[in-house]
Amino acid sequence: MAVIKKSALMVELMVTAGLVCCLAACMGDLVYRPEKKIAPAAPTVAEMNPHLPPMPDMAANNATLAGIDTSGIGVRDDVQIWIYTNYTTNVKRTVLMTMAKTIQDVMAAPPKTAEEAKNLDQSFKDAAMMLKIVRGLTQREADEMDRLLYTQTVNTPERLKAYLQYDLLLGGGTIKR
């Protein structure tokens, strides 16, 4: 009987020691825990492109056809930021900024004659053609970028009305989006 009591006591001590070790492992410094490395925060578009203007107040930006262009390059600030946020290659950015400038010209100084409208349309077509020959860009992707730029720039009822008037001066053939 004494042997059984000693065996039971040994089992009890071993179970207790095991529990203590488990608790110590979960809470204590006895367990090696490598430091979690925090990945550095990815730089924002503004940090990578310090020349970008700040995002304008959307109510003020949408109050006029031309919107806000603090940088003075002929493209609304929100459109410029959108281009730089969504497209990372300089080629795409340059072509899209050229296309955006043409659309912005329609908004800022709507053409009064068919001749003025045709000149703007030719500028847009030239830039759109450049987009379609960007290496690695499919026709479908180029068309989608064109469509997205259109929806980003012609984003209020007043801007749509101005664009439709421009389209009428051209004979109604530009809207394919």
Average pLDDT (48-70) is: 90
Assign 103 a pLDDT band (cuts: 50, 70, 90). Answer: very high
Domain ranges within the chain, ordered by starting residue: 45-169
pLDDT bucket at 43, cuts 50 / 70 / 90: low
Task: Give the integer Cα–Cα distance in Å for 148 and 177.
Answer: 9
Full DSSP string of 23-69: HHHHHSTTS--PPPPPPPPPPPHHHH-TTSPPPPPHHHHTTSSS---
Tell me how far apart the terminal alpha carbons of the chain are, to the nearest angstrom.
Answer: 93
With a threshold of 0.85, does the pTM exceed it? no
- Categorize the per-residue pLDDT at 120 as very low, low, confident or very high, splitting at 50, 70 and 90: very high
Residues 6+ apart with CB under 8 A from 46: 52, 54
Confidence of residue 132 (pLDDT cuts 50, 70, 90): confident
Q: Name the DSSP letter for residue 123.
A: H
Cα–Cα distance for residue pair 149/125, rounded to 1 Å: 14
Tokens 């040994």 -> residue:
10
User: Angle at which helices 114-132 and 90-108 pack, to 10 degrees?
Assistant: 170
pLDDT at 26: 58
Q: Which of 125, 119, 93 is nearest to 106 (CA)?
A: 119
Contact yes or no for 60/71 (Cβ under 8 A): no
